[in-house]
Structures are given as structure tokens and as C-alpha cells.
A and B are shown apart, each in its own frame.
Chain A
Amino acid sequence: AQSVTQLGSHVSVSEGALVLLRCNYSSSVPPYLFWYVQYPNQGLQLLLKYTSAATLVKGINGFEAEFKKSETSFHLTKPSAHMSDAAEYFCAVSISGGGADGLTFGKGTHLIIQP
């Protein structure tokens, strides 16, 4: 079964600093990988996805992530944090490597931006 580990339930950075949110996955098949963001009392919004094309994926709001097969990682980065980036971030992997049977989510990382 696929699984996702997000290191750090809370990450705090200063405004303007680099954001790095870590995600490691396990998958028995080539995975599809996703990062979602959730603002308070809202649903989840897709930031970016990896579907076996380019290993460096650019998403919305200046975020990007790099797929590293050798490290089974898909870490999310943003060069300069903004106050509006404060939210919960979820990494997810497709359950069957790209099929219609849903996603397995990590437990989430709460990103705090210090002024």
C-alpha cells in the first residue's frame, strides 16, 4: 500500500524566508504525487502535481516541488514566504499509481509565517 510521511506537523518561517515542507512517499508502482493547500474552514486546493513528466514541478503561488525517485521524496519549496502562505499543506500519493481509486494523504504540515 502507498503511504506518505510529512516531516514536521508545524513549520515556522519568517516572512521573506525560504519555505521547505518535506514529503516522503512509499509506492510499489510509479506514483502520481500531489501537494494541496487548505486555508482555515475551506476545502483543499491543488498547488501542484507530478505525473511522471518533468521532475521539477511548478505550481501556483510561487511554489514548486522536485520529484526525487532515489530519495522517494517530493519536497515543496517557495523562495520567499508571504503572510498569505499561512495554511495547512498536504502531500498525497495516488493509491494505485495513477488510477481512479483515490489518494493517500499525509497528516499535514501547518505553515506559520512570522512577521
Chain B
Amino acid sequence: NAGVTQTPKFQVLKTGQSMTLQCAQDMNHNSMYWYRQDPGMGLRLIYYSASEGTTDKGEVPNGYNVSRLNKREFSLRLESAAPSQTSVYFCASSELEQSYEQYFGPGTRLTVT
């Protein structure tokens, strides 16, 4: 099992450009999440999808959109990137039977100039 995979690993954008971060999991989990990690801030929840077909805002959703494409895939889109969105982005998945313990991907390091 690959677990949770994310693409790309690194990305540099100019202010105003758009991009989509991809995430896929092969553990048959119902719930998926996007977090951002900034120095000294821990991880903060951007959006989550409790089950296929649903998405909800987390703590810091402004400037982002998400799509739960199917049970395996959950993408995060930046429509018009801003320097404040420079961060490391982590995708995670979880399941009720495992007490919603989060399984994390390796992260995408995004720089917006």
C-alpha cells in the first residue's frame, strides 16, 4: 500500500497564478483532509471531506477550494495564489474504525513569490 500520496512535492508560483494540489489514498478511508503547516503554527485545517460527496470548511479556508473527486481522491485548488499561501500542505485520511487517526501524505512545499 502506498498510503497517502501527494503531487507535486514542490511548486513555485507567482502571485495570481492558480494551481491544484492532488491527493490520493489507497486505504479505502471515507474521510480526507487538507492542512497547512507554517513555522511556529502547527498544522491548521483548511478543508475536509467527511465522506464522498461532502466537503466542509476548516479553520483557514479563505483562498482555497476543494473537490472530492471520488472516494480515493481529494484535491485542493488555489485560484489566485498569494504570498500568504506559501506553506507546506499536507493531505490526510482517516476512518471511524481507527478512531479517526489521521494518516498523512509526505507534503507539498509551495512557495508563492
Q: Do A and B associate with each other?
A: yes
Q: Please indicate the chain A residues that have their CB under 8 angstroms from the CB of B59 in the complex.
A: 104
A13 vs B28: C-alpha distance in the bound complex, in angstroms? 40
Which residues of A pack against B, CB within 8 Å?
A: 4, 9, 32, 34, 36, 42-46, 49, 51, 90, 92, 94-95, 98-108
Let me know if B42 and A99 touch, CB within 8 A. Answer: no
Let me know if A107 and B30 touch, CB within 8 A. Answer: no
A90 vs B104: C-alpha distance in the bound complex, in angstroms? 13
Q: A43-B106, A102-B33 are in contact. Are A107 and B101 (CB under 8 A)?
A: no
**6 pairs of A and B residues whose beta carbons are closest in the complex:** A100-B50, A105-B42, A43-B104, A100-B31, A51-B99, A105-B43
Could you tell me which residues of chain B, from 1 to 24, have a CB within 8 Å of some CB in chain A?
A: 4
**Number of A-B residue pairs having CB atoms within 8 Å of each other in the complex:** 70
Name A103's contact: one of B41, B45, B50, B51 (CB within 8 Å): B45
* Extra pairs beyond A32-B100, A94-B100, A100-B31 (5, CB < 8 Å): A34-B102, A92-B43, A99-B50, A102-B33, A102-B45
Which residues of B pack against A, CB within 8 Å?
A: 4, 30-31, 33, 35, 40-45, 48, 50-51, 56, 58-59, 90, 94, 96, 99-107
Q: Please indicate the chain A residues that have their CB under 8 angstroms from the CB of B42 in the complex.
A: 4, 90, 105-108
Q: List 5 A-B contacts (CB under 8 A).
A: A46-B103, A101-B48, A102-B33, A103-B100, A108-B40
Let me know if B44 and A105 touch, CB within 8 A. Answer: yes
A99 vs B102: C-alpha distance in the bound complex, in angstroms? 12
Q: Please indicate the chain B residues that have their CB under 8 angstroms from the CB of A105 in the complex.
A: 35, 42-44
Q: A102-B33, A102-B58, A107-B42 are in contact. Are A44 and B90 (CB under 8 A)?
A: yes
Name B41's contact: one of A4, A46, A51, A107 (CB within 8 Å): A107
- Closest CB-CB distance, B28 to chain A, in whole Å? 15
Q: Please indicate the chain B residues that have their CB under 8 angstroms from the CB of A107 in the complex.
A: 40-42
